[in-house]
């Protein structure tokens, strides 16, 4: 029977927080308070506009991908429903509530659904880059040159199709390699949304900002994974807002509530009313500041 060597638990990069030098770790409560242009809770609506190739590919299968033998028309068309129907209901709901959102967009969606992207932009919403399509995944098995080419391709295709170059990036499944922050910064991106370890923006050492998009607050997690009702999802979002508003009042600093939405999930006719009701309720709260991702980043950046 062998024993472990004495140095087994030694790690040369061991430090406070995570064991890397990508950013300086800190507790949220130890930082200077942040104040928003209005209210105390920045409500960030982030919609995923996704195109799932009918055959999965890449180093791993993205959440929501095809799950039955090829050709998986049932799941393929269910996801296509989001771009054909559900996203349009979102746009109507946002317009009725008078709020703006960010749309994390695959390059393939920008190319395949030009009318949808034109409506997003015309509504005053933000386009965030969301890779090439749902096979455009990143992890450390992808060579840095291949990852750099993937990010560059996504940015170029989105800009060409939409006429706008995004300032934000959301990776498929929020997955990055150790090279990703530098690659995103080199592409001129101001922020990413992949790291969910906080409730306020923070900065990598290379200057890239992270705007946390917590997956636990997504409709995919609450409705699809946890199998809760749309009304239960809306109640959870309302409870989160109430907690953050109380915390902001007690601390004297602003908070942020990210709400991640999926058109083929929450855009269904028996769920959309729950979203509309939540938006109407929060829009009446004086603590709420509905803002796009780039607006939240800009307001935070002026105070750091």
- The 10s digit of each residue's pLDDT in 248-280 is 999 999 999 999 999 999 999 999 999 999 999
Rounded CA-CA distance 296/41 in Å is 11
Residue 29 region by backbone torsions, left for phi larger than 0, else alpha for psi between -120 and 50, else beta: alpha
In the chain, alpha helices (H)? 73-81, 87-97, 107-112, 114-122, 144-162, 180-186, 219, 230-251, 263-266, 272-283, 293-301
At 133, the pLDDT band (50, 70, 90 cuts) reads: very high
Give the predicted TM-score (pTM) of the model.
Answer: 0.94
Helical packing angle, 114-122 and 87-97, nearest 10°:
10
Q: Which domains does the chain have, with CATH numbers?
A: 37-301 (3.20.20.370)
At 11, the pLDDT band (50, 70, 90 cuts) reads: confident
pLDDT for res 254: 97
CA dihedral 130, 134, 136, 142 (to 10 degrees): 120
In 128-179, alpha helices (H)? 144-162
Mean pLDDT over all residues of the chain? 94
pLDDT for res 155: 98
User: 159-180 pLDDT, tens per residue?
Assistant: 999 999 999 999 999 999 999 9
């Amino acid at each position: 029977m062998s024993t472990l060597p004495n140095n087994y638990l030694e790690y040369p990069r061991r430090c406070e927080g995570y064991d890397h030098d990508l950013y300086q770790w800190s507790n949220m409560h130890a930082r200077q308070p942040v104040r928003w242009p209005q209210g105390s809770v920045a409500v960030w609506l982030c919609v995923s506009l996704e195109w799932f190739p009918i055959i999965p590919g890449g180093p791993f299968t993205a959440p929501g991908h095809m799950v039955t033998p090829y050709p998986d028309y049932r799941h393929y068309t269910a996801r296509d429903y989001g771009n054909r129907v559900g996203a349009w209901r979102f746009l109507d709901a946002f317009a009725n509530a008078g709020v703006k959102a960010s749309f994390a967009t695959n390059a393939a969606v920008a190319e395949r659904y030009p009318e949808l992207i034109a409506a997003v932009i015309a509504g005053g919403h933000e386009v965030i880059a969301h890779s090439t399509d749902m096979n455009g995944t990143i992890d450390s098995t992808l060579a840095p040159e291949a990852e750099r080419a993937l990010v560059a391709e996504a940015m170029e295709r989105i800009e060409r199709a939409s006429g706008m170059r995004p300032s934000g990036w959301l990776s498929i499944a929020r997955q990055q390699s150790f090279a990703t922050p530098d690659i995103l910064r080199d592409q001129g991106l101001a922020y990413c949304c992949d790291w969910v370890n906080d409730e306020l923006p923070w900065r990598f050492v290379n200057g890239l900002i992270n705007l946390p998009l917590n997956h636990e607050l997504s409709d995919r997690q609450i409705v699809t994974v946890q199998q809760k009702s749309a009304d239960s999802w809306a109640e959870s979002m309302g409870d989160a807002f109430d907690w953050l508003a109380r915390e902001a009042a007690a601390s004297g600093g602003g908070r942020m509530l990210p709400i991640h939405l999926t058109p083929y999930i929450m855009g269904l006719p028996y769920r959309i009313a729950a979203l509309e009701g939540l938006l109407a309720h929060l829009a009446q709260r004086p603590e709420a500041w509905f803002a796009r991702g780039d607006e939240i980043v800009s307001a935070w950046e002026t105070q750091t």
